[in-house]
Amino acid sequence: MNNVIELVDVSYCYPDGSLGIKSVTLNVAKDEKVAILGSNGSGKSTLILLMAGLLKPTRGEVRIFGLNPEKKYIENIRRKIGVVFQNPDDFLFNSTVMEELTYVPKQLRWSREEIEGRVKEIAEIFGIDKILEKPPFRLSGGEKKKVEIASVLIYRPEVLLLDEPTANVDGKTKRKIIEILKNYQGTIVISTHEIQIAEMIAEKFVLINGKHEIEAVGGKEILQKYDLLEEIGVI
Amino acid sequence: MHELIERTLKEASKYFQNFFIHEYLKKSALHFVDPRVKFLMSMVFVLLVVSTFSISKTSVVVISIFAIAIASKLSLSQLIKRAWLFTVFSFVVVLPAVFYDAMYVATFTLRVFAAIISMQLFILTTPFSEICAVLRYFKIPQNLVNSVWLTYRYILLLFNDLLTILLARESRRVSKGSHMDVWRKGGEAVGNFFVRSFERAERVEMAMKSRGDLDWSRNWNFGSNELLSSLITLTVVLWWWIA
Amino acid sequence: MHIPDGYLDIYLVLTMYLLSATVVALSIFRTKTLSQKFGIVAAAIFVAQMLNWPIPGGTSAHFVGGSLAAILLGPYAGCVAMSVVLIVQCLVFNDGGITALGANIWNMAVVNVFVGYFVYKSFEKYGKELAAFLAGWLGITLAAIFAGLEIGLSANFIYGVFITVPIMAVWHAALGVIEGIITAAVLRAVYPSISTEVSKISKKSLLAIILMILVSPIFAYSAELVGYTEPLEKAAENLGLEENPLYSGVLPDYVVPNLDPYLSVLISATLGTFIVFGLGYILNARTNRKNA
């Protein structure tokens, strides 16, 4: 049992009838670093949400740690999977950054010392120790993104799913995020339309085309096939 | 929260099917009739239905609508599909009365059905922008019509917004919660959603100001299609009168 | 709580339209700068209503949001926003009938909103969340009671007010607890980030509307009294319109005397269907030719 996430012929349709993703079969192994590459609106975000068990596929089957993400196991799955949403405004809903960081640890009933230690540690890594008492909606775009990723990494999920983690942030923040993700020990799935970002983090690449299907899957060599990359619209 | 999202998604897909009905409904002859005339026709039918409690008069309206639908190639199954839910609901509501007045139950149910399909004759064959233009023509205040249109226009976008906010919360829920938890946490999520929607409202308002007001004036015309529709309406009224 | 077409008789339809139009017109006037932005706010309320909240026992409930709109936007703007929601629901989704629109606006955009606001303001000093809970709960319960009153009074609905009102009241008083909890939770989340400072509301006009709400059942009841003594057909009879000249001219009753009444119904039905279908057919043929 080496696969942490398995998708078998998965399709998803949104309630308004628009297609999210079509007939996707994909496995993600433990500690694998995967990048999903595709143009805007190709279904990358949908794929991330399906892999997290947050959306239920319209057709096909999703297995996470060999389990169906249904009511019985859902909290167990959530504990092991961290999802970083594309827009931090969707994600940050607590009244201070501190509460944001401790949101999951509190649910997991960590001790106070443990929480304090971990917050200090993670705040240093991200360089957000000065803004812990600020309300998240008053932060700058880059700060919001860092808080978002920090509040997921804090509970040490085994799998990290990131939807466009470097969109709309400046160069300095971008480098910081990439450095942190490179040091992360565990499975990573990242969706992006920037090849450079994907190349720096991932070793396996999934290309999604404009018809919401998987065009190709492969290692670094696939990034040399310029005609393919151009066809799916990432260069 | 898990359950809240799943149930909402399931119901929403039914909702949005109605929303996009104009995209997949085949065009009928009624689609080409001036919406003002269609609106008045539907209103007359509805008023005929609600101002009587005679089963034969109600049947006149139902039969006429069926005849119009068949003749103008408007999907009869769509018409019934859009009406059956409330009809069945109303039937169940008055069902206990069946023991002392079966006729009442039949008439009441038929009336509900007739009123709904009367209105659907207009709604199914008129794009919402045209419906707004009709409202404006009948002197509903401009800003109210604008608001109605923007509501329609932004429902889908805001629904996706709310869904993402709920999913983001769900992704960090690692412990089971009670119903109370779901209501409170979900309520807070709806609160975040409102804050963002209010901010969006300000931006949309500015964008609209920068581009000028919505224009609901239309080149209305009263030609032979409209004359025929009026004749149909008149026939139904007369027939209803003598039935 | 949306009343469909066919439940209310024509007298109630007209009364409720009149009542609602008065308050909505006043609200539009009071908000002065009624602007497009209401459209987006109304869309947000609409979307929040689409949420399907699970409740113990496996069923679910919807959030109405009248009191919330009142607290966040003030009663006049809240009334307009809720009316917009109801108009769209009626014209797009067939939620609530067109003839019942007046009644539905009255219940959910007037009673729920103004009572919600009144309750919130009265209890605000004991805590915002408590006040919001009470406003949500009482607003929805009272709206349901009014809906019960209207369909109970309707001559077309077989159950009287002594059945409809308790059923609606008990059911929505139970569901209203969720409405209250959600209203309070939303307010808690909203409060820090936007000021809910509503421009000064004149107490006099607010009281006038509350008073109007309280006496509205009397209006509805008297409309029914008129209805009982003077149904449309009877009125026509009085005016001597019953013997319609067109009727005797066109239909066989005149031409063929002593016709069996059932046969006459059959003939008029066939003839009626034939004419309507025929005219529809011509319409179809014309539009086909035009688009060919």
**Residue C128: inside a domain, yes or no?**
yes
User: C208-239, pLDDT tens digit by residue?
Assistant: 888 888 888 888 888 787 765 544 444 444 44
Assess if residue C3 is contained within a domain: no
- Distance (Å, rounded) from C-alpha A69 to C-alpha A72? 8
Predicted local confidence at residue C225, as pLDDT: 79
Question: What pLDDT, on a 0 to 100 scale, did the predictor assign at position B203?
Answer: 85
Distance of CA C91 to CAs A7, B131, C88, C147, Å? 41, 8, 5, 20
Q: What is the pLDDT of residue B12?
A: 84
pLDDT for the residue numbered C245: 39
CATH for C211: 1.10.1760.20
CA dihedral A24, A29, A30, A34 (to 10 degrees): -70
Q: Which chain C residues contact residue B184 at CB under 8 A?
A: 181, 185
Positions of chain B with pLDDT lower than 50, given as ranges: none
Global pTM reads 0.88
Containing A81, the helix (H) or strand (E) segment is: strand A81-84
Mean pLDDT of C150-171: 89
Question: Exposed (0-12), middle (13-18) or buried (19+): which is C63, by Cβ within 10 Å?
Answer: buried
The pair of three-digit structure tokens given for residue B144, joined into one six-digit string: 């109210």
- At A180 the pLDDT is 93
Nearest by CB to residue B19, choosing from C92, C283, C290, is C92
Are the beta carbons of B51 and C232 separated by less than 8 Å?
A: yes
Total domains, chain C: 1
Q: Does C292 reside within a domain?
A: no
Question: What is the model's pLDDT at position C108?
Answer: 95
A85 contacts in B (CB within 8 Å)? 164, 167-168, 171
Q: Residue A204's pLDDT is what?
A: 93
- Count of residues for chain A? 235
Give exposure, C158-195, as e/b (b: 16+ Cβ within 10 Å).
bbebeebbeebbeebbebbbbbbbbbbbbbbbbbebee
Mean pLDDT throughout C232-256? 43
**Residues of B with CB below 8 A from C278's CB?**
71
Average confidence (pLDDT) per 10 residues, chain A, 235 residues: 88 88 93 92 92 91 87 84 90 88 91 94 92 89 92 93 90 91 93 90 92 91 89 85
Q: What are the sequence ranges of the domains in chain B? A: 1-22+140-212, 27-126+218-242
Residue contact C192–A93, C-beta within 8 A = no
CB contact under 8 A, C50 and B15: yes
Q: Which residues pair with A64 in a beta bridge?
A: A5, A67
Is the CB of B146 less than 8 angstroms away from the CB of C36?
yes
- Kindly give the residue spans of alpha helices, DSSP state H, lying in chain C: 10-31, 37-50, 66-73, 75-88, 101-104, 112-123, 128-153, 161-190, 203-229, 232-239, 245-250, 252-255, 261-291
Which B residues, 65 through 94, put their C-beta within 8 Å of a C-beta on chain A?
A: none
DSSP character at residue C124: G
Q: How confident is the model at residue C248 (pLDDT cuts 50, 70, 90)?
A: very low
Does C1 reside within a domain? no
Give the number of other CB atoms < 10 A from CB of residue B138: 10
Whether B169 and chain A come into contact, CB under 8 Å, resolves to yes
C92-133 pLDDT, tens per residue? 887 888 999 999 999 999 999 999 999 999 998 998 899 999
Domain presence at residue C2: no
Predicted ipTM beyond 0.85? yes
Strand A3-13 vs strand A187-192: parallel, antiparallel, or unpaired? unpaired
How many residues would you count in chain B?
Answer: 243
Q: Are C66 and C116 in contact (CB under 8 A)?
A: yes
* Boundaries of domain holding C220: 10-284
Partner-chain contact B176 A93, CB within 8 Å: no
Report residue C194's pLDDT band, with 50, 70 and 90 as the boundaries: low
Q: Neighbours of A (≥3 Cβ pairs closer than 8 A)?
A: B, C
Interface of A with B (CB under 8 A): 13-17, 49, 52, 54-56, 71, 74-75, 78-79, 81-83, 85, 87, 89-91, 93, 103-104, 107-108, 151-152, 155
Per-position DSSP letters for chain B, written without gaps between them: -HHHHHHHHHHHHHHHHHHTHHHHSPP-GGGGS-HHHHHHHHHHHHHHHHT---HHHHHHHHHHHHHHHHHTT--HHHHHHTTHHHHHHHHHHHGGGGGT-HHHHHHHHHHHHHHHHHHHHHHTTS-HHHHHHHHHHTT--HHHHHHHHHHHHHHHHHHHHHHHHHHHHHHT--S---HHHHHHHHHHHHHHHHHHHHHHHHHHHHHHHHH------------HHHHHHHHHHHHHHHHHHH-
Of B90, B150, B182, which is closest to C43 when you measure between CB atoms?
A: B150
Contacts 24+ apart (CB under 8 A), C260-269: C265/B56, C265/B243, C268/B239, C268/B242, C268/B243, C269/B60, C269/B63
C37 interface with B at CB cutoff 8 Å: yes
